[in-house]
A and B are shown apart, each in its own frame.
Chain A
Amino acid sequence: MKRRDAIKKITVFTGGVIFLSTGMMSSCKSPRDRISDEDVLLLDEIGETIIPQTSDCGGARAAKIGLYMKVMFDECLSTQERKVFLDGLVKFEAAAREKFKTDFLDLDSAEKKELFLGLQGEAARYGMNQGKVAGSLHYFDLFKKMTIDGYFTSEIGATKARRYQAVPGQFKGCISYVKGDRAWATS
C-alpha cells in the first residue's frame, strides 16, 4: 500500500503516466483492478457533476450511473479503455487533492465544477497532443461519454430529459418545432 501511494505521488508530481507503466503496476497489487462498491458511489458523484439534477428532472445519480458504469466497465469496455478508466480514477482523486487539498467527495458543487472544467481543458489539450496516436483517450472524456450514454439511455434520461415513445403508432414527416422542445430519445 505504501509503495502504491508513493507511486501515485510520484505520478502526480511529475504529471505523467510513465510511472504507471505496466512493468511497475504488475509488481504491486493495486486495489484498483476493479470497480468497488465505494467506487460506484464515487462514480455516481462524478456523473451527477456532469449531468446534475435540475428543476425539471433527476440527474445521473438518479439514473444509477455508478452501477451502469460498473456494468459497462466489467463487461463492455475494451482492455485499453478499462486501463484508462482505472488509472483515471486514481488520477482523478489525486487531481482533486492537488487542487483543493481534500478528497473529491468533500468538495462543494462549485469546487467540483471548477475541477471538472480544468479536467475538460486538460482532456482537450491531451486530445490535441495525442490526436495522431490511435486510440488515445483521456480518462475525463471516457467518464463524460459514459455518463452521457448511460444517462440518456436510462429511463429518467430517455423519458424526462428527452422524449420517448415506446409505441409511436404513426409517423409524421414534418411537425413544428419550438426551441426548447426536447429531442426524441431513440431514432
Chain B
Amino acid sequence: MNVNTKAVAQHTYDAIVIGSGITGGWAAKELCEKGLKTLVIERGRMVEHIKDYPTANLSPWEFKHRNILPLKDREENPILSRCYAYEESTAHFFAKDADHPYVQVRPFDWIKGYQVGGKSLMWARWTQRWSDLDFEANAKEGIAVDWPIRYGDLAPWYSYVERFVGISGNRDGLPQIPDGEYLPPMEMNCMETHLKKSLSANFSDRHLVISRTANLSQAHLGRGPCQYRNLCFRGCPFGGYFSSNSTTLPAAERTGNLTLVTNAVVHSIIYDQNLKKAKGVRVIDALTNEVREYFAKVIFLNAGTLNSTLILMNSKSSRFPNGMGNDSGELGHNLMDHNYNGRITGEFHGYENQYYEGRRPTGTYLPRFRNFGNDKQKDFLRGYAFACNASRVIKSDDGVAIGAELKQTLSEPGLWKVGLVSMGECLPLHQNKVSLSKDKVDKWGMPLLEIDAAFGANEHNMMKDILKSGAEMLEKAGLVNIQTNDTGNAMGLGIHEMGTARMGRSSKTSVLNGNNQVWGAENVFVTDGSCMTSGACQNPSLTYMALTARAANFAVEELKKNNL
C-alpha cells in the first residue's frame, strides 16, 4: 500500500473508536468531551436519531403484515428469527444471517445489529448494577481468574453514567444490586404488588423490585420523557430511552471533535514494532472493498464482544503472532451468555376490578437470592435473577365458537397472568471459545468466526432449581395453572455475549489489564462485553458503560502524562 504523507495526516486523529454501539458511543462522548479529535468507525450504515426510525409512529394496522415477518424473511434468517425483538417493525435494525455468516461448531445464536448505534437501538434497557458478590466470585471459588477491579473501583463510574443516561428506578437497599442515581421509578401493577408482598412474607431473601431501566420517567437533559408506548425497539422519536443515537453520539458531536465514518469494516489494528504500541486501524470499505488506514495515539475497540475479539485475532504481527494481546492464549476463550431458558407462568383469580393504563417499557425484577446471604446450594455455583411481568391477558375464547359473543369475549381483559423469565449466570469456561476460520471468509475477505460454546453442567443444574423455585414462588402467591418450561435455546440468544478478551491481573492469564488496556499494546482499550471476566446474572450493558467511561478517563490522563 502506498500511503503518502498527506494522506496519513488527513487520516490522523487523537483517538479512534471502533464501533458506535452502546460502549463505542460512550467512548466517543468521553474522548470528544475531553478535547480529543476522535474518529468513530462504524461498519454499518448511518442511523440518525428520529430521522431514521421509519416505523416509530406506525400503528399495528399500518404494517403490511401486522408486524409479522414474511415467511421468506424467516426462512432466510433462521438464527435472527429466534430473537424476540426481530419483527416487521424492527427488521431494518438487525444484520441478516446470510450477509454475515459464522461457523457454529456447536449451536450459538449470534444476534447482530450493524449500524450507527448498533444494538443500543434495540436493547432491553435493564440496568442493575453489579456488586462485589460478582466481582469477587471467581477469586473466592477459584474459577477462571480474578477480576482486577472491585465494586469500589466502578461505583463512581456507575453514578457518572447513570446521571447522564437517565435511569428510572427505586433505591431498594439490596446489596446484590447496589443503589444508583435514579429518576423516579415506574409503578408496579396490583398483581406485581401482590407478588412482591407474597415473596416478602414467604421468603426472607426474595425482594421484588421495579427494574432499573434506561427509560426516562421524567424529562432529562433535553430528552424524553418516556411516553409509555413500549415501542422502544423501533427507535424513540421522544428520545425516551438511552441509545448511542439519541444520547452519546449527539453529545460527542456537540464538541466539534467527532468524525464518524460509516460502512467501514475494521480489518485489524496496526501494531508498530518500533514504538511497541498500536499506531492505527486498517479498514475495508464495505461498499467498495477499498482498503484504508487511519492513525491515532489511542484506540478504543468497541466493536461488540465477538467482533472485538475477531479484530484482535486478525491483528497479527511478529510481536503478536496469535492475535493482539494474546500472550496468554486466552483470547477467544471463556465465552459467556445468560441463561434465559427458564420460563414459569401462572394465572391468578382475583383483582378482577383492577387494570392498568399505558404501556410500561419495563418489568419487575427479582434479584439473585441463591448462594447469597445464608443460602448455599450444593448443585451449582452462582445464581440467577428473574424478570417478572404481570398483565391481564385477553379473555380466552375456549367454548365460544363464533359471532357477537366471541367478539365481546375477545374485547375484554381476562385473568391476570404472571410470567417469570430466568436470567442465570453462566460460568466462564475455557472450552467455550471462538477462533478464526482457516479457510472461510466473508464478502470483505475477513475470516469467519467459529463459535464453539454451550451451557455446561453448572448452568443445567441451576436450571432445575430455577424451574423449581419459580413454580414454588408463584404457588405460594396463590397462582394456579402453573407451567414450567426449559426452552432449551442455544447460547447466544440471551444476547449477552461476554468474555473472550477478559480483564485480569496478569498478561499470562488475561488479555486486558485492570484499566481495559491490551497487555503489550497499552494504547488499545477494549471496553465492550469481551472484557468481562465473569458474567454475573444482571444485564451487563450498564457495567460496560461504566467500564468505558472509566477507561476513557484513564486513557486521557495517561495521554497527558505521555504514558501512551
Contacts and interface: CB of A to CB of B under 8 A. Distances in A.
A111 to B, nearest CB: 13
A113 B406 CA distance: 12
Contacts of A167: 227, 229
A144 interface: yes
Contact of A171 (B60, B70, B359, B412): B359
A50 B411 contact: no
Interface string A143-187: 010001110111100100110111111111111111111111111
B354 A171 contact: no
Contact of B65 (A75, A184, A187): A75
A148 B407 CA distance: 9
A76 interface: yes
Contact of A161 (B60, B186, B229, B407): B407
Interface string A46-58: 0001111010000
A175 B68 contact: no
B407 A172 contact: no
A19 interface: no
A51 B357 contact: no
Contacts of A52: 403-404, 407
A170 B412 contact: no
Contacts of A165: 357-359
B326 to A, nearest CB: 46
A54 B354 contact: no
Contacts of B327: none
Nearest to B190: A174
Contacts of B413: 177, 181, 183-184
A117 interface: yes
A140 B411 CA distance: 21
Interface in B57-116: 57, 59-61, 64-72
Report the contact-size class of chain A (Cβ under 8 Å from the partner).
35 or more
Most buried by A among B60, B67, B192, B402: B402
B151 interface: no
A117 B355 contact: no
A117 B352 CA distance: 30
B66 A120 contact: no
B322 interface: no
B358 A120 contact: no
A116 B402 contact: yes
29 contacts: A52-B403, A68-B66, A75-B64, A75-B65, A76-B71, A78-B71, A79-B71, A113-B402, A113-B403, A116-B402, A117-B402, A144-B402, A149-B66, A152-B410, A153-B66, A155-B59, A158-B61, A165-B358, A168-B229, A169-B358, A171-B356, A171-B357, A173-B186, A175-B354, A178-B353, A179-B352, A181-B355, A185-B60, A186-B359
Interface of B: 57, 59-61, 64-72, 186-190, 192-193, 227-230, 352-360, 391-392, 394-395, 397, 401-404, 406-408, 410-413
